[in-house]
Structure 1
Amino acid sequence: MQPNPPQVDDTTGVPRPRYSLWQLARYFLRLGTSGFGGPVALVGYMHRDLVEARGWIGEADYKEGLALAQLAPGPLAAQLAIYLGYVHYRIRGATIAGLAFVMPSFVMVVALGWAYVRYGGLAWMQSVFYGVGAAVIGIIAISAYKLTRKSVGRDKLLWAIYLSLAAVTVVTESEMAWLFLAAGVLVWLWRAPPPWLRRGNVPMLAAISLPATAAGTGMTDWTLLSQLGVFFAKAGAFVFGSGLAIVPFLYGSVVTEFHWLSERQFVDAVAVAMITPGPVVITVGFIGYLVAGLPGACIAAAATFLPCYLFTILPAPYFKKYGKLPAILAFVDGVTAAAIGAITGAVIVLARRSIVDVPTAVLGVAAALLLLRSRKVPEPLLVALAAVIGLLIYPLVHGS
């Protein structure tokens, strides 16, 4: 049952939010501390908790935030958290929500980085990831299913977009920003065509897209921390899609180009991001710690998240001002359908890497069924149980 309608401010006539900024900060602190499953699951949790359960955020505001997060470069879940903080509390809310969401997982990966360096690697991580990776697939599959039912509905055009983006993501194992834009434009032209299109006077349209990569910036004479800052700023500013999309970009430079980490260290860094809650892109903190200690972790994280923060709060006022126009609503519906299709495709891509044998298949299916049949099962408990099962089963299946 939805909460009572919000009260209206007597001086401005604007509805007051149903929650305080402190309540929102506490929510994102808790989500950043216990939200497992990567970007797919995290955006699902935000919808479930803030839109459906609490009624703090409207469905339209959520969809606008998801669309903006998909269109702009940077990590999906962090950008959506920043936008949702902006909805009622503007820049102050966006800043506090973003910091509250990111900080818990940053502290965790820095602590794991310290243990990794001190004790010469984390041999147990492979066993833990064996179990956790399978359970996470079940968690994010249910999140994608719920988002699909809620946002795509029975609209045939949205279903065509959704299925197309899911297929493209599965085949290419990447997310293409221009397809999100194209989906939005298609639904806009179909539902609310502009007058010049109805008259048949179609001018030539010029597509402007952000470059997917940046030109090289000779960094050979720079200090190591400066190199880290510039590199991770590029990663945050020019990589589109979910936090998982940053992984191949990081690998090409961190391992191959700069030789900051070995391949084994990089794989461990990705595993750390997957077995800790919060945004997957926080793996940059672990990488920064391995390269240059605590200053490296701080520089890597700050440089990665600052672009996504700016790419969210700068266009946010225009989304809020013009978001109710029929053309914008249609555009947002198209982008949202594309985004959820890409998220569903990402579930399949990740499943192919995490479901590797019968035990992992059973773990994934069991996690999905538990979440589907009961709303009272906490995801952190599932992840903890999967980690224990992985520690017990992996040595038996694959040898010690």
Structure 2
Amino acid sequence: MSEPQQAGAELAPRYTLWQLFAYMLGLGTWGFGGPVAQVGFMYRDLVERRQWISEADYKEGMALAQLMPGPLAAQLAIYLGYVHFRILGATLAGLAFVLPSFFMVVALGAVYVAFGGIGWMQAVFYGVGAAVIGIIAMSAYKLSSKNIGRDKLLWAIFLASAAVTVITKSEVVWLFLGAGLLVWLLRAPPKFTGRLHGMAVSAPVVGAALLGSVDWPQLVEIGAFFAYAGSFVFGSGLAIVPFLYSGVVQEHHWLNDRQFVDAVAVAMITPGPVVITTGFIGYLIAGFWGAVVAALATFVPCYLFTILPAPYFKKHGKRPGIKAFVDGVTAAAIGAITGAVIVIGERSISDWVTAALALATVAVLWRFKQFPEPLIVLIAALIGWLVHPMMQAA
């Protein structure tokens, strides 16, 4: 690394905080394509074109975002805000990136609640739900190829996690942590203990404390659950899908299977982080304040997991023990996503049309690596709108 890169964070910024805020607000509004595309936009715009962020700072932000639980693109945005403007910059950058998609899903939630019984909306989600299954399946494949490769230990963890998810139809958080500790102990026996584990289990407590003064029992319950969920989203934002399914549908019975798949579909057709689906789910449960509490509780842990370790990450982030722990947790999370494809697919694939849509989605994403997922979802929505009435009449 060159000296100019090493000194990146120490140089006076070439931009103002409000310029960064405006950029993140724009990216949160038009940034379709999922987390991989969004972090690519940030590199292209902030490092290469505008040269606001040094390449060294960008790489450190990417490493931290991959290491800590939380949605990748949102955490990178928070870290880049922190580089030159510390806590205020991190807060405003994160809010600017997340708020546009939050307001979009709240608006869609209002329409869904108001007109959910109308045929056109049911028809649209009939097609979109099937396409979402295909998208999640391909995401699981890409994640496993990239993060697991030919590693036999990680494949064993992956298969065990997938099997547990399918059999129990739920997410087992302790399996995630156990997988991380197993790989840590086998591959990098620690010379220090408890640091990462303590951070991982503290966020649910933080999230619950932030919502402790809320008077409405349901909002407290929503806040506690989503803070807990947001504390274990490693890697792709899609990792939260099986966790949410087990809690929202199986445990609390806040939504039915159809509503949950629709919630994931809404996240797919809006820009910003996939995890913003929690805002839509919260709206369906308890209206606007349910959406606010669910989204806030989900993002507060990832915000804390970014700003708290940021000052120390350069010193400790590359330790073999931490990397081994994350490898194990990531393998278990990808296994859970794969298991969730089967669990949710059993309920979303209801006939030959939805099966064909799911398979076609996989085929298109396999053949055309850069094909935009929102376009697939919109095409599936049109197909559902045209075909669903005919299937109902048949």
Deviations 1:6-26 (A, max 9, x none): 952658679x99xx9465554
Q: TM-score, normalised by structure 2?
A: 0.72
CA contact (8 A) 2:28 2:96 kept: yes
Deviations 1:285-318 (A, max 9, x none): 4236xx45x4554455435543453355334555
For 1:187-198, list aligned pairs within 5 A.
Answer: 187-194=183-190
Structure 2 residue 73 is matched with structure 1 residue 81: yes
Structure 2 residue 222 is matched with structure 1 residue 232: yes
Q: Distance in 2 between matches of 1:146 and 1:287?
A: 31
Match of 1:111 among 107, 118, 121: 107
Pick the structure with more helix per residue. Answer: 2
Q: Distance in 2 between matches of 1:5 and 1:111?
A: 47
Once the 2 structures are TM-superposed, how far is the Cα of residue 68 of structure 1 from its aligned partner? 2.3
Deviations 1:311-351 (A, max 9, x none): 55334555554121122222222222222222222223222
Structure 2 residue 357 is matched with structure 1 residue 363: yes
Q: Distance in 2 between matches of 1:328 and 1:212?
A: 18
Once the 2 structures are TM-superposed, how far is the Cα of residue 389 of structure 1 from its aligned partner? 0.6
CA contact (8 A) 1:169 1:175 kept: yes
Q: Distance in 2 between matches of 1:363 and 1:5?
A: 50
Q: Distance in 1 between matches of 2:44 and 2:346?
A: 31
Q: TM-score, normalised by structure 1?
A: 0.71
Flag the 1:102–1:269 CA change in 2: closer, same or farther, 3 A. Answer: farther
The letter of the residue matching 2:154 is: L
Flag the 1:48–1:173 CA change in 2: closer, same or farther, 3 A. Answer: farther
Aligned Cα root-mean-square deviation (Å): 4.3
Aligned residue pairs, count: 355
Once the 2 structures are TM-superposed, how far is the Cα of residue 104 of structure 1 from its aligned partner? 2.8
Aligned to 1:161: 157
Deviations 1:24-65 (A, max 9, x none): 55444433xx35xxxxxx455557766899997878864653
Aligned to 2:30: 30
Q: Distance in 1 between matches of 2:44 and 2:247?
A: 35
The letter of the residue matching 1:133 is: G
Structure 2 residue 266 is matched with structure 1 residue 275: yes
For 1:229-308, list aligned pairs within 5 A.
Answer: 229-239=219-229, 240=232, 242-244=239-241, 245-250=243-248, 268=259, 271-276=262-267, 277=270, 278=274, 279-287=276-284, 291=286, 294=288, 297-308=291-302
- SS of the equivalent of 1:8 reads helix
CA contact (8 A) 1:63 1:336 kept: no
Q: Which runs of 5+ in 1 are unaligned?
A: 36-41, 70-75, 197-202, 257-262
Q: Distance in 1 between matches of 2:333 and 2:357?
A: 27
Flag the 1:82–1:318 CA change in 2: closer, same or farther, 3 A. Answer: farther
- SS of the equivalent of 2:5 reads coil
Once the 2 structures are TM-superposed, how far is the Cα of residue 360 of structure 1 from its aligned partner? 1.1
Flag the 1:356–1:296 CA change in 2: closer, same or farther, 3 A. Answer: closer
Aligned to 1:324: 318
Deviations 1:231-289 (A, max 9, x none): 33212223355443235534589767xxxxxx67x95476245234343212244236x
- SS of the equivalent of 1:390 reads helix
Match of 1:171 among 151, 167, 171: 167
